[in-house]
């Protein structure tokens, strides 16, 4: 099994191009089921999760053309009329986002059988929100032997739906399904993450009639059919935040390119309040030597709040402060699994339920550590960059799910990092 070895205390100096968003790409790929015509996605990151979703879609009758993925970050998806409506366990277990085929399949095929999803071990992430919302459009559901089985023999019909809690995945599933439902669908209490807006933009380019309204509400007029489109995937805002932290903690000079500042405005405010020196360009950001001396209390929230996907990385940054900070995790339970590994490297972090107290640690030391999920694994990389001595990170397949060319990007800026067997 592959490992990453890092020798720390090297300042990062150079330029990093931000990749396309994985969390935007996956629902965009699922949307290809909604049309017989080709969907072309530019700026798609070459990641394990992209290939997994491609395999799921291929099993459902979608031609997944990845011939230009490595060189041009482009994929083409063409749904071919098929009687396939089964997303099997062996594929879906690898990634929770596979549940995103449920809504498009039900809308297009009037039936779907999807295995209960797998992925990172960071909480239950119940699928009942997806199922209950789709049931209001006319879907009938059963859970049999670990599979969600659903059908809508008469097709889906528009309805008024209020999600019981804000859910990114459920919002994406219901929007995609509603584009082919008869009549109007109104959904309230939706998530409004940039990745969802990106999905809406692509669906509109495919011919969907969608109106995003204030106060987390959306109106969708169902269409008889959608057509193909070419769409440019938005930059990965989580990758931006991760590399801002990397630049700040290594006290180098780092420039990040391909940024959409509308997606990270509140995030930048948090970093500025902590003392990170940043200089904005048109679509680039420069991070200079920073004095991280302040403490904060931080709550993870749905967008536009602080993203849970940056919580682990923030713990590394806050460990360098002169005083204690607090993070409250409000999105997922069981998302402090990285804390014992960071503490092995010298962090002084205490957890109590959904609350973590990050005390000043005075620095990190190299150690053997193990990644537990995608964002936890990159927090260990960050700590390793400033640790004294050598760190070996095990189970780095998690990193390959969400960070494109991580070692290459960091090494090009001076990091002493390599991957070994």
What are the tokens at 203? 């669906």
Sorting pLDDT into bands at 50, 70 and 90, what band is 52?
very high
Alpha helices in 38-141 (DSSP H): 48-59, 69-72, 89-92, 102-109, 128-135
Q: Above 50 in pLDDT, residue 124?
A: no
Q: Above 90 in pLDDT, residue 319?
A: yes
Just list the catalytic residues: 120
Query: Distance of CA 112 to CAs 88, 106, 156, Å?
Result: 11, 5, 13
What lies within 8 Å, CB to CB, of 43 at 6+ separation is: 19, 20, 73, 232, 233, 234, 235
Average pLDDT over residues 92-120: 85
Query: Distance of CA 273 to CAs 298, 310, 314, 327, Å?
Result: 12, 16, 13, 15
Residue 84: the pLDDT is 83
Q: Above 60 in pLDDT, residue 122?
A: no
Percent of the chain whose predicted confidence (pLDDT) is above 90? 84
Chain-wide mean pLDDT for the chain?
A: 94
Range from 37-46, 78-87, 222-231, 232-241 carrying the lowest mean pLDDT: 78-87
Residue 50: the pLDDT is 97
DSSP label at residue 94: T
What lies within 8 Å, CB to CB, of 310 at 6+ separation is: 238, 241, 242, 245, 267, 375
Average pLDDT over residues 103-127: 75
Q: Above 80 in pLDDT, residue 125?
A: no
Per-residue pLDDT reduced to its tens digit, 180-212: 999 999 999 999 999 999 999 999 999 999 999
- Closest to 130 (Cα-Cα) out of 82, 169, 78, 83: 169
Range from 90-104, 307-321, 357-371 carrying the lowest mean pLDDT: 90-104
How far apart, in whole angstroms, are the C-alpha atoms of residue 339 and residue 311? Answer: 11
Residue 90: the pLDDT is 84
By DSSP bridging, strand 209-213 and strand 217-221 are antiparallel
Range from 119-123, 270-274, 323-327, 346-350 carrying the lowest mean pLDDT: 119-123
What superfamily would CATH give domain 3-19+235-420?
Enolpyruvate transferase domain (3.65.10.10)
Distance from the first to the final alpha carbon of the chain: 6
Give the HSE-up count for residue 234: Cα atoms under 13 Å, Cβ half-sphere: 24
How far apart, in whole angstroms, are the C-alpha atoms of residue 24 and residue 6? Answer: 30
Q: Above 60 in pLDDT, residue 247?
A: yes
How far apart, in whole angstroms, are the C-alpha atoms of residue 193 and residue 91? Answer: 26
pTM over 0.75: yes
Would 3-19+235-420 and 22-232 be classified into the same CATH topology? yes
Q: Above 50 in pLDDT, residue 308?
A: yes
For the chain, give every domain's residue range.
Answer: 3-19+235-420, 22-232
Q: Above 90 in pLDDT, residue 421?
A: no
Percent of the chain whose predicted confidence (pLDDT) is above 70? 98
Q: Above 50 in pLDDT, residue 123?
A: no
Return the HEC string of 228-296. Answer: CEEEECCECHHHHHHHHHHHHHHCCEEEEECCCHHHCHHHHHHHHHHCCCEEECCCEEEECCCCCCCCC
Average pLDDT over residues 7-24: 97
Residue 289: the pLDDT is 73
- Closest to 384 (Cα-Cα) out of 341, 421, 420: 341
What are the tokens at 324? 């204690």
Residue 1: the pLDDT is 83
Sorting pLDDT into bands at 50, 70 and 90, what band is 95?
confident
Query: Cα dihedral sign for 156, 158, 163, 164?
Result: negative
Per-residue pLDDT reduced to its tens digit, 366-392: 999 998 888 889 999 999 999 999 999
- Closest to 248 (Cα-Cα) out of 212, 292, 311, 205: 292
Sorting pLDDT into bands at 50, 70 and 90, what band is 156?
very high
At the topology level, CATH places domain 22-232 in UDP-n-acetylglucosamine1-carboxyvinyl-transferase; Chain (3.65.10)
**Residue 346: is it exposed, middle or buried by C-beta count within 10 angstroms (0-12/13-18/19+)?**
middle
Q: Above 80 in pLDDT, residue 272?
A: yes
8 Å CB contact between 405 and 16: no
């Amino acid at each position: 099994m592959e490992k990453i070895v890092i020798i720390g205390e090297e300042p990062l100096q150079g330029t990093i191009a931000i990749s396309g968003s994985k969390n935007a790409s996956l629902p965009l790929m699922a949307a290809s089921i909604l049309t017989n015509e080709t969907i072309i996605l530019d700026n798609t990151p070459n990641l394990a999760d992209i290939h997994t979703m491609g395999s799921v879609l291929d099993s459902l009758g979608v031609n997944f053309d990845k011939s230009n993925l490595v060189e041009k970050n482009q994929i083409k998806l063409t749904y071919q009329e098929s009687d396939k409506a089964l997303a099997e366990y062996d594929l879906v277990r690898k990634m929770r986002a596979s549940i995103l085929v449920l809504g498009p399949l039900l809308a297009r095929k009037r039936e779907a059988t999807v295995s209960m999803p797998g992925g990172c071990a960071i909480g239950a992430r119940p699928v009942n929100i997806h199922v209950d919302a789709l049931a209001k459009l006319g879907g009938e559901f059963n859970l049999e032997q670990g599979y969600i089985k659903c059908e809508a023999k008469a097709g889906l019909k528009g309805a008024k739906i209020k999600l019981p809690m804000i859910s990114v995945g459920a919002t994406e599933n219901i929007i995609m399904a509603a584009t082919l439902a008869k009549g109007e669908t109104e959904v309230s209490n939706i998530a409004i993450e940039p990745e969802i807006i990106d999905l809406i933009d692509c669906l509109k380019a495919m011919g969907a009639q969608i109106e995003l309204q204030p106060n987390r509400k959306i109106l969708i007029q169902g269409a008889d059919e959608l057509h193909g489109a070419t769409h440019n995937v938005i930059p990965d805002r989580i990758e931006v935040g991760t590399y801002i932290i990397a630049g700040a903690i290594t006290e180098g000079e780092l420039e990040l390119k391909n940024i959409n500042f509308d997606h990270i405005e509140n995030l930048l405010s948090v970093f500025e309040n902590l003392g990170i020196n940043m200089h904005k360009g048109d679509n680039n950001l420069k991070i200079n030597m920073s004095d991280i001396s302040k403490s904060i209390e931080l709550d993870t929230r749905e967008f536009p709040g602080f993203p849970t996907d940056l919580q682990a990385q923030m713990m590394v940054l806050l460990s360098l402060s002169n005083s204690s900070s607090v993070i409250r995790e409000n999105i997922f339970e069981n998302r402090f699994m990285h804390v014992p590994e960071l503490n092995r490297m010298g962090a002084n972090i205490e957890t109590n339920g959904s609350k973590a107290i990050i005390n000043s640690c005075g620095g990190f030391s190299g150690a053997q550590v193990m990644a537990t999920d995608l964002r936890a694994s990159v927090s260990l990389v960050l700590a390793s960059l400033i640790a004294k001595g050598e760190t070996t990170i095990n189970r780095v397949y998690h990193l390959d799910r969400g960070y494109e060319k991580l070692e290459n990007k960091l090494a090009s800026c001076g990091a002493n990092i390599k991957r070994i067997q």
